[in-house]
Amino acid sequence: MKLRIKNKNPGLFLSAGVLIFFMLSAIFAGYIAPHNPEKANLELRLKEPCHEYPFGTDHLGRCILSRIIFGARVSLSVGLLVVSSSLILGLTIGTLSGYYGGWLDEIVMRVVDAFLAFPSLLLALGIAGLFGAGFMNLVMALIIVDWAGYARLARSSVIAVKEQDYIKAAKGLGTGDLHVILHHVIPNVMSPLIVMATIGMGYVILSAAGLSFLGFGVQPPTPEWGSMLNEGKIYIRSAPYIMIFPGIAIMITVLAFNYLGDELRDLLDPRETKDID
């Protein structure tokens, strides 16, 4: 499949550029953050944005800009761990279910239906409450909630692919199931899963921020965007910038992932032929 990427769609490059900026900020947070994000200085508490503290300080005198920069590391790490793990788990289960069918497919799909029947955020909240607060518990809770969607999409894609002539030809030549799945089935079902994973990154970051806001995610003093919103909510009238800047960071990141996912869906659409300029 040929890809045609035209300059007439700058939004694709803008969203990718925004995400690259956040990722580089997370990687090099220790070098670009102007202050220690966990160091408190009560003499500087609730300081309004100024030259030294562009985003102001919080109720403990900590630099909000530095905490947002380090918070990107936490939020993006949660997103990458959850999405990659959910994708691998869902792809494996969905592929086996769709390829072999029968009783295995029935059991897997009923389990998937059970997970998808619950509101995802409420299910994640219940699991996080059961596991307790913390980074890894947050990741595990979101993986348990997230894998089912990937499994259903992988299963439906495999069912369509396994009826193609090249799959039948490979089986006719005596090729084993494992070789067929790894070399012929999975490479041809990855496009919609990549799109789903890209959009899912934004959803996971938003869900992680929501759980941290409710006290079930990453705990203070570790900087995380959702916990920063929680810490600043009682100062929404006197120092609204404590919540505004982390909220903007969440909004921009989620919008960028959603827009990038939409653009990738168009680029990877097999019904379109696209040339690269």
Q: What is the pLDDT of residues 125-148, one digit of tens each?
A: 888 888 888 888 899 999 999 999
Report d(CA 23, CA 257) in Å as an integer.
Answer: 12
pLDDT given for residue 108 in this prediction: 92
| CB neighbourhood size of 261 (10 A) | 20
Record the tokens describing residue 70, joined without a space: 């380090």
Retrieve residue 144's tokens: 């348990």
What gap in Å lies between CA 152 and CA 142, rounded to an integer? 17
What angle (nearest 5°) sits at the alpha carbon of residue 15, between those of residues 9 and 18? 140
Under 8 Å between Cβ of 61 and 40: yes
Q: Are 212 and 133 in contact (CB under 8 A)?
A: no
Report the Cα–Cα distance between both ends of the chain, in Å, rounded: 15
Query: DSSP letter at 53?
Result: S
Amino acid (1-letter code) at residue 99 = Y
Segments making up each domain of the chain, as ranges: 65-267
Distances (CA, A) of 3 to 202, 267, 273: 25, 7, 6
What's residue 8's pLDDT? 55
Positions in the chain whose pLDDT score sits under 50:
1-3, 5-7, 273-277
- The CATH class of the 65-267 domain is mainly alpha
